[in-house]
Amino acid sequence: MHMMKKVLAGLAGVVALASSNAFAASVEIKGAGVAFAPAVVFANVGDTLAFRNMASHFVESYPGMIPEGAAPMKSDMGADYDYNAVKEGIYVYKCPPHIGARMAGVAVIGKPANAAATIDKMLESASGELKKVLGQVKEELPKHGL
């Protein structure tokens, strides 16, 4: 009986650990021509940003446009890429070979404080497609309680 209690307690711990990751999702972002589709995503902390269909693309975060302390995004050319978003905040990324065609995207992770002010600050130095995508994010913030 004592052994059975230990086994059940251990099993309960394993189930609790597994269930903590059960709510993490994979959010797919595709390379579509010279654009990310969708260009804007909202996800939760712990979700994976899954970049797919990246045959002639790669992903790189804009310097200074990811949360402080977050690992920068940097994939290999032509390879699918998974990025685990472990810090709440706003992540802005690009495809360097196609930035001239304005291939940029934004992921809002969690419920970052001062999201609108952060976007406004990013808009100050943005141009072209990046400005358009950041404007789209700002319009969508209220729909997500931000």
Distance CA 39, CA 137 (A): 9
Domains in the chain: how many in total?
1
What's the pTM?
Answer: 0.82
* 118 lies in some domain: yes
Neighbours of 82 (CB within 10 A): 11
Helix (H) or strand (E) holding 117: helix 115-125
> Above 90 in pLDDT, residue 16?
no
pLDDT tens-digit map of 76-112: 999 999 999 999 999 999 999 897 778 999 999 999 9
At 22 the pLDDT is 59
Distance CA 6, CA 20 (A): 21
At 29 the pLDDT is 97
- The better pLDDT of the pair 85, 130 is held by 85
* 31 lies in some domain: yes
pLDDT tens-digit map of 31-78: 999 999 999 999 999 999 999 999 999 999 998 999 999 999 999 999
* 12 lies in some domain: no
* 1 lies in some domain: no
Token match 């790189």: residue? Answer: 60
Distance CA 45, CA 7 (A): 32
State which residues form the domain around 137: 25-144
* 74 lies in some domain: yes
> Above 50 in pLDDT, residue 14?
no
* 85 lies in some domain: yes
* 13 lies in some domain: no
* 4 lies in some domain: no
Residue 93: give its domain's CATH number. Answer: 2.60.40.420
For the chain, the average pLDDT equals: 86
